[in-house]
Amino acid sequence: MAEDTPRKRLDADARREEIVRVTLDLAAKQGVDDVTTQDMAQAMGVTQGAVFRHFPSKDAIWLAVMHWVRDRLMAVLGRAAEQGRDPLDALARMFAAHIDFIAAHPAIPRVLTSEHLHTRSQALRQLVTEIMLGYEARVAGLLEAAKAEGLARADLDAHAAATLYIGMIQGLVLQASLLRGHRTLKAEAARTFPVFLQAVRPPNP
């Protein structure tokens, strides 16, 4: 819960990384749009002015955060998917990896879906769009591959199913956020994914 205080006088690269880290932490705790540069500085044990030595603006910080999220998330998803024995197994592994990643970094979905950030800068909006479309294409690709192998129904609308998949994650996150504690993300995810799979599977086994 506390900061492991890698105190003052970091070189610029390390400090930039730390700013991204504490920004994600703070976004999880107090909400994306309530994170101030003062909060970031305090979490690192430096003064507020120091933050602006490493980023020209707050938007630039959010952009760096978004890049961090994209890189890590895509790496995690890719690693999980390539371990799958077939396309549907890959999708299941990817889903589980995503849920685990969100559980470890609760701010990630909030950053990606934050309307506050989307409206702040064109660059931010574009990056989020790119992440979403890329993710959707990846899911749709796995579903198409599943169709080719007869693992998914032949008439499946892969694009629509990918939309449903992404929505499923959003719904799970919102529930877990509203009902903090009462329902755990992982447990609900484990119940909901099989229902999604039924929409994909062919009618007669």
Partner DNA sequence: CGAATAAGGTAGTAATCAGTCACTATCTAA
Partner DNA sequence: TTAGATAGTGACTGATTACTACCTTATTCG
Binding site for DNA (CB under 7 A): 8-12, 15, 34-38, 41, 45-50, 52-54, 56-59
Of 6 and 78, which has the nearer Cβ to DNA?
A: 6
Residue 144 binds which entry of a second copy, DNA, none, with Cβ cut-offs from 5 to 8 Å by kind? none
CA distance 143 to 36: 42
Contact (Cβ atoms closer than 8 angstroms) between residue 114 and residue 32? yes
Contact with a second copy (CB under 8 A) among 47, 48, 83, 129: 129
- Smallest distance, Å, CB 47 to DNA? 3
The sign of the torsion formed by the CA atoms of 23, 27, 29, 34 equals positive
Kindly tell me which residue out of 16, 21, 116, 186 binds a second copy, with binding defined by CB under 8 A: 116
- CB closer to DNA out of 29 and 159: 29
Within residues 63-82, the interface with a second copy by CB under 8 A covers none
Contacts of 80 (CB under 8 A, 6+ apart): 90, 93, 94, 96, 97, 98
Look at residues 68, 53, 57 and name the one whose alpha carbon lies nearest to residue 22: 68
Among 75, 132, 137, 148, which residue sits at the site for a second copy (rule: CB under 8 A)? 132
- For position 96 contacting a second copy by CB under 8 A, the verdict is no
